[in-house]
Structure 1
Amino acid sequence: MPKSTLSPEALLLIGTNIILLLSGQALWKIGLQKLGGFQLSNLLALCFSPWIMGGLVLYVIATGLWFAILSRVDFSLAYPLQSLSLVLGVFLAWTLFQETIPWTRWLGTVIIVVGCYLVSLPQRF
């Protein structure tokens, strides 16, 4: 039965899931960049790209891990914590892909972190 509190094990599972999802997305981005983006003319090359296939493998593993998370943690707690992947995604875009991040996006990431903190607080009433 899922729980409304966050155990260290559940936190580790969610963190690992986020890392797998971000890694998969990064592999897809790299694969798309190497092949000139998503177009019908390169669809077959995309399907057999090691970057794209690696990203898919990571997504399959992340999905299996998500099943384990959902069996241990309330959906109303686990799903909002997945939004931390958005925060880490901004840092990944900034560092790995050298993207310029506007201040509004940085502010949004702070708001997400605050929201995750509030969601993860134990019930007191």
Structure 2
Amino acid sequence: MKYIAFILFTVMTNAAAQLMLKHGMMTLGPISFAGVNPVIKLLQIVFSPWVFLGLATFVISMASHLYVLSKVELSFAYPFLSLAYVAVAVFAYFVFREDLNAWRIAGIGFICVGTVLIAQSGRGHEELAASPSTPLQTSELAQ
């Protein structure tokens, strides 16, 4: 639980990146490659301000996630990323006026409950190192 702030930072930067990418693509309008060099078109998309900012935010999110993975178990940290779905759905409702119907709200509820259950089970590497059980050595696995 010591690294929960870093995990939540990863989640929020991931969600923010999605919202920036959506805004950037809405600004660009429908994408068509007809009569245009696809490489040029791709560069125009990537270097449009909101898309570029979204991609840069993804890099920050990934750097934060790598830090988290160095401190806690993957099976603990990774499920928290599902909270990005929750944040994106809520913010998309308010910012982009996207639909948030009963089915989506129910799904969000299940995601939140699952994340709380996983959070209750979490231990970081330092907690594992302090536990009395020792990991099996490769030579012990062969026996």
Partner of residue 76, structure 2: 77
Partner of residue 56, structure 1: 55
Question: Bigger CA drift: 105-114 or 39-48?
Answer: 39-48
- 1:40-95 residue CA offsets vs partner (Å, 9 max, x unmatched): 25434212201111011111111111110001111111011111111111101111
SS at match of 2:70: helix
Inter-CA distance 39–73: structure 2 relative to 1 (3 Å threshold): farther
Larger radius of gyration: 2
Identity of aligned residues (%): 30
CA distance in 1, matches of 2:110, 2:117: 11
Q: Tell me if 1:104 matches 2:103.
A: yes
* Deviation of 1:100 (Å): 1.6
* Deviation of 1:37 (Å): 3.3
Gaps of 5+ in 2: 123-143
- 1:80-121 residue CA offsets vs partner (Å, 9 max, x unmatched): 111111111110111111112110010000011000111111
Q: Tell me if 1:18 matches 2:11.
A: yes
Gaps of 5+ in 1: 1-5
**1:89-100 correspondence runs (5 A):** 89-100=88-99
Partner of residue 116, structure 1: 115
CA distance in 2, matches of 1:114, 1:122: 13
CA distance in 2, matches of 1:37, 1:65: 32
Q: How many pairs does the alignment contain?
A: 116
* Deviation of 1:18 (Å): 1.1
TM-score (normalizing by structure 1): 0.86
Which amino acid is the alignment partner of residue 107 of structure 1? A
Which amino acid is the alignment partner of residue 19 of structure 1? M
CA distance in 2, matches of 1:116, 1:21: 16
TM-score (normalizing by structure 2): 0.76
Pairwise CA RMSD of aligned residues? 1.5
Q: Tell me if 1:30 matches 2:29.
A: no
* Deviation of 1:122 (Å): 3.6
